[in-house]
Amino acid sequence: MALSNTTRTLKKWRGQGYQCWITEYWNGFCGRRVDVWGFGDILACKPGEIALLQTTSYSGLSSHKRKIEDEDHREAAINWLQAGGKLYLEGWHKKPLKRGGKALRWKDRVYQAVLVDAGNGLEIGWEDV
């Protein structure tokens, strides 16, 4: 059975010493997935750090960045970051083990949300991790 992006993220972060809890769930009443403030699939913590993780496919990274930055989610994301929480966006895709090879392995790309002073208020920026 193939692993989901959420399962890959859990395995990776738990391996780095984080305690993780899936916060995303299926709401059958409205027929959609629900997560913390619209962007938190996983709550992760270890001494000195607490983080929300948004996990997706590699091709979904841009749309998830825009979703977090949009007016429906920006305020919650900024409040989370101002409270000292970290916010990571992790996208997964398959890459060849070596150039030109046929064997594939799963590879992730991680961005961390950071607060940026835009002059007229705080905005969300992204850094490669």
Residue 1 reports pLDDT greater than 70: no
The pLDDT of 19-47, averaged and rounded, is 94
pLDDT for position 98? 81
Q: Mind listing the pLDDT tens digit for each residue in 82-104?
A: 999 999 999 999 988 888 778 89
Domain ranges of the chain: 5-128
In 3D, which of 38, 42, 6, 4 has the Cα closest to residue 23?
42
CA angle, corner 13, sides to 70 and 73, nearest 5? 10
Per DSSP, the residues of 41-91 read: SEEEEETTEEEEEEEEEGGGHHHHHHHHHSTTTHHHHHHHHHTT-EEEEEE
Architecture in CATH of 5-128: 3-Layer(aba) Sandwich (3.40)
- Whether residue 56 is predicted with pLDDT greater than 70 in this model: the reply is yes
Give me the pLDDT at residue 81, please.
97
Mean pLDDT highest for which of 11-15, 26-30, 119-123? 11-15
Residue 107 binned pLDDT confidence (cut-offs 50, 70, 90): very high
Element (H, E) at 30: none
Question: Do 91 and 128 meet the contact criterion of CB atoms below 8 Å apart?
Answer: no
First to last CA, the chain: 29
Q: What is the pTM (predicted TM-score) of this model?
A: 0.90
